Amino acid sequence: MIKKIYSQRGQISLEFSILMFAGITAAVVLGYYMIKSSIDVKNTNINTINKTSDATMNALKTVD
């Protein structure tokens, strides 16, 4: 296995380089979508909190 990864001159083989590139690319794409979805969830929750707070404040305004 180690002879397959390194050639005679100590260079990393093309297959191993392509495998590493695919793994890094997949990790970058996955990270992008995770960050994007967490920002969307944050925005949704902030809107829900604001609506709840507004409804509560409106209800409390009627109480004297």
47-57: per-residue pLDDT in tens?
888 888 888 88
d(CA 4, CA 13): 7
- Chain-centre distance for alpha carbon 51: 27
d(CA 11, CA 7): 5
- To which H or E segment does residue 1 belong? none
Give me the pLDDT at residue 1, please.
55
- Residue 38 token pair: 């967490």
Residue linked to tokens 């920002």: 39
**What is the model's pTM?**
0.56
Is the separation of the CB atoms in 4 and 13 below 8 Å? yes
Give me the pLDDT at residue 21, please.
95
